[in-house]
Amino acid sequence: MYKQQPIFLEPVLQERIWGGTKLADVFGYELPSDQTGEAWVISAHQNGPSKIRNGELAGKTLLDAWQEHRELFGKHDNEDYPLLVKILDAKTDLSVQVHPADDYAQEVENEPYGKTECWYVVDAEPGAEIVFGHHAQTKEQLERMIDQGEWNQLLQRIPVKKGDFVYVPSGAIHAIGAGIVILETQQSSDITYRVYDYDRTDNQGKKRELHLDSAKAVSTVPHETTETREAPVTKGAKTEQKLVESEYFTVYHWQIAGEIELETPASFLQVSIIEGSGEVKLDDQSFQLNKGDNFILPVHIKNFTLNGNLEAIVSHT
């Protein structure tokens, strides 16, 4: 039987042409280059599983733990770890894209999950904007506007600031704009259909591939925006805001100021510290928490104590 401990994870840093250095500046991560776009902070995805930092599983990945010690995570119907948490630094605009739902991912891509995702804006420069949704009213109109490259008329741009939250269901056309750092909680999927890449070319003069047929097939028309946030609730030293409760994940923003005893709300719990510091305590053990730390509380940990002055994004299935 394992000693009951939080599972701390090392981020997997991914270079991207649109990336920068804020993952080091803001979170203190060690970057492979000054074009680092993504930190996969809680990942059991085969394209970049996070490594376990502590305890008896130290040195193994979260994917190993999922495959060899499923009892840590409770009952799940699916073969694959369901969630993926990333922090993204967009130094320049990301391409405009859309993701499929589960049924399309399974039938067409032979992958277990489509991708519904959501973004908590950790940092945004003044004037920063996202693309979210489009103005087409029918599928025919969407296809025509894509074919004719009427991007300014088609795409809906929305200004964002630190602390904003965006729920992006599969089928919603979206892009993160320059100057934005987000924490993304999503289904564990890597399927992306690129719709528009601002006609950018690499240093060989080549454009990145687009996936227009798939994108047209999976895009929701007309676009729908859902407000998923509930009002924040303060109990003792914790202020909790439920950001979204969906079929795939429930995500909260927690603000801790002082010490509070907590119960895990569901199966296993994913926690990312986005501001401040403190500690998590279980029985006689205590673990230091700093900004940029990510951990999972396995399913058999029912009670724990948080102490400090910190903000966290917390999620579960």
- Residues with a catalytic annotation lie at 194
3-class secondary-structure state, position 112? coil
- Please confirm whether the linkage preceding 222 is cis (ω < 30° from 0): yes
d(CA 180, CA 124): 4
- The secondary structure of residue 106, as a DSSP letter, is I
Residue 121 CB contacts under 8 Å (≥ 6 apart), including other chains: 160, 161, 162, 163, 164, 165, 166, 180, 181, 182
Residue 101 CB contacts under 8 Å (≥ 6 apart), including other chains: 114, 116, 170, 171, 218
Residue 286 CB contacts under 8 Å (≥ 6 apart), including other chains: 279, 280
Strand 174-176 with 129-134, pairing: antiparallel
Among 216, 200, 229, CA closest to 134: 216
Burial class (CB in 10 A: 0-12, 13-18, 19+), 115: buried
Name the phi and psi angles at 108, rounded to 5: -95, -40
- The secondary structure of residue 61, as a DSSP letter, is B
d(CA 94, CA 131): 10
What's the maximum distance between 2 C-alpha atoms anywhere in the chain?
Answer: 64
> What are the angstrom distances between the C-alpha of 293 and each of 74, 102, 200?
23, 30, 35
